[in-house]
Chain A
């Protein structure tokens, strides 16, 4: 299944990073383990957005809404019902995917910016409902002290749980990107009209991609519940979506791993800058401006260009390029 789709030059770095992450809790202070876990959660969210943004060319401005829906679904099931916990954890991504399909069903009728505007509107509708429905969601206060399995009781437990789900999700998303579905999705990004002319139902393809992206955003939402044991309307506020959008741009939205870099940078910055000032978004704004001017393809895009200009030699055998 994996044969040939991860380039040989990437195997060693990937193995090294994985090993470092597995042994990290032995050497890194607890606080930074928490930050690392938060980076996994956020990176998963950013990569799920990039499935539609970078690979699909779909301006999903309000992606965090599916993250929030996933988190709230799990939180509500764990606190308001007596269903087994695994039901709560499993339902989050599924409900997120379903809501992705519902919102997407309306949005795919439009393209580009119009898609984005409608998506923000529909997403904000969900946000306003969640933040006002005090009797169900706790409104502005959110839901706190959500009971989680004892496995997630320690910071190391949460870390490993999140790491495993994060890794599995990454592999699955990578397979999707490299599959015929992913290849066709990239084609609809480059030229939707041409896709229709070769027999591809572009809207349906985009809708499926939105559903998949919403699913993984939901997975990230569920992981957030496991980590923080609380949910609040800020999770599906559109400003947070903007932040996730910036992570994709920052890391490089035409690369698979770019959003991970973007998420790591943003989370680390927010954490360290917040110690000194409340105006950390100011720093983010400056970064964004610098980014647009100097790294239009993002950090990973820039590095990849330096490391390997995309192969253009003629007659090279197929099958050894990692996206």
Chain B
């Protein structure tokens, strides 16, 4: 469904992403892991169109989506939830999701019909499936951090994506919130048939949820494979257990 081939991106001479490869099969839950600064968020930004890769290809359902604007990529079926709670603070929870649904239905430009009567069912169904329905009337800025992150995901769902990209969905969450969120991710994958791509620091979560794991280091792909295969891989073990110094030598000639 999604293929990233040898994507590269540098900022001021620093190669944030350096020959990254990634394959996401339809319906799968795929995780990207790697130490801080490995280029995970930059890779997601390349896929979502926030940055344009210097070289390499990004294919979504066979089409090259390199260099398209973020809104264009979204309309093709890729939605993204952000690492920080990237929501509309002054709007209500309901409106936050509704804006996204209206955009998906191409109704953002409708001028003379009250918005509150449009896309109500779709919006409520997303709020219900993410457990936010009883908070629909609250102003989004007043929600707890955990709820804001879930709202963040709900906004992404509003665009009816085929591929949902989650950037560290549980960062800064309490253990209980983390459990709830990951259950939600699994549920969404099963109930809505969503393909999910996420990155995460918590290895327990990654190895329990993901069906395929891609490991990044210094902007490069070390390996992508099933959890067991990744766990056995020497380079990965070194990246997480051994020193970063010895590893950078190895990966540079890899």
**Closest Cβ of chain B: how far from A323's Cβ, in Å?**
11
Residue of B nearest to A186 (CB): B91
| B residues less than 8 Å from A4 (CB atoms) | 114, 116-117
Contact of B108 among A175, A178, A181, A191 (CB under 8 A): A181
A30 in the interface (beta carbon within 8 A): no
B251 CB-CB contact with A under 8 Å? no
How many pairs of residues, A versus B, come closer than 8 Å at their CB atoms? 139
The answer to whether residues A316 and B137 also contact, given A181-B110, A186-B91, A187-B99 and a CB cut-off of 8 A, is: yes
Task: Give chain B's interface residue range (CB within 8 Å of chain A).
Answer: 35 or more
Q: How large is the interface on A (under 10, 10 to 19, 20 to 34, 35 or more residues)?
A: 35 or more
Contacting residues, chain A, for B111 (C-beta < 8 A): 175-176, 179, 181
A196 on the B face (CB < 8 A): yes
Q: Does B107 contact A (CB under 8 A)?
A: yes
**Chain B neighbourhood of A179, CB < 8 A:** 110-115
* B60 adjacent to chain A (CB < 8 Å): no
Interface string of A97-120 (1 = CB under 8 A from B): 000000000000000000000000
Distance in Å: Cβ of A60 to nearest Cβ of chain B? 19
B80 at the interface (CB under 8 A from A): yes
Residue numbers in A under 8 Å from B137 (CB-CB): 311-316, 318
Would you call B98 an interface residue if the criterion is a C-beta within 8 Å of the partner chain's C-beta atoms? yes
Alpha-carbon distance between A193 and B115 when the two chains are bound, in angstroms: 22
Q: Does A182 contact B (CB under 8 A)?
A: yes
Q: Which of B95, B108, B115, B120 has the most CB of A within 10 A?
A: B108
Q: How far is the CA of A84 from the CA of B112 in the complex (A)?
A: 30
Question: Is A269 part of the contact surface with B, judged by Cβ < 8 Å?
Answer: no
Q: In the complex, A55 Cα to B65 Cα: how many Å?
A: 33
Interface set, chain A 164-204, CB cutoff 8 A to B: 172, 175-176, 178-184, 186-187, 189-191, 193-202
Which of A180, A199, A315 touches B71 (beta carbons < 8 Å)?
A: A199
Inter-chain contacts of B96 with A (CB < 8 A):
187
CB of B139 within 8 Å of the partner chain: yes
Contacting pair A190 B90 (CB below 8 A):
yes
Q: Which of B151-159, B173-181, B216-224 contacts A (4 or more CB under 8 A)?
A: B151-159
List of A residues within 8 angstroms of B86 by Cβ: 191, 193-194, 197
In contact, B88 and A199 (Cβ under 8 angstroms) = no
Decide yes or no: A197 and B102 within 8 Å by CB, A180-B118, A190-B89, A319-B116 being known contacts. no
Q: At the interface, yes or no: B17 with Cβ under 8 Å from chain A?
A: no
B98 — which chain A residues lie within 8 A by C-beta? Answer: 183
Are the C-beta atoms of B156 and A198 separated by less than 8 Å?
Answer: yes
Does A191 lie within 8 Å of B103, measured CB to CB?
no
**Cβ–Cβ contact B108 & A200, under 8 A:** yes
Question: Chain A 207-220 against B: per-residue CB contact (8 Å), 1 yes, 0 no?
Answer: 01000000000000
Cβ of A242 under 8 Å from chain B? no
A/B interface sample: 5 pairs, CB < 8 A: A180-B107, A181-B110, A190-B90, A198-B104, A314-B134
The 4 closest A-B pairs by CB, nearest first: A199-B74, A190-B88, A196-B70, A198-B100
Residues of B whose CB lies within 8 Å of any CB of A are 48, 50, 69-71, 74-75, 79-80, 82, 86-91, 94-96, 98-100, 102-104, 107-118, 120, 134-139, 142, 155-156, 158-159
A198-B156, A202-B71 known; 12 new pairs, CB 8 Å cut-off, are A1-B114, A176-B112, A179-B110, A180-B102, A180-B107, A181-B111, A197-B74, A197-B86, A200-B71, A200-B99, A312-B137, A314-B137
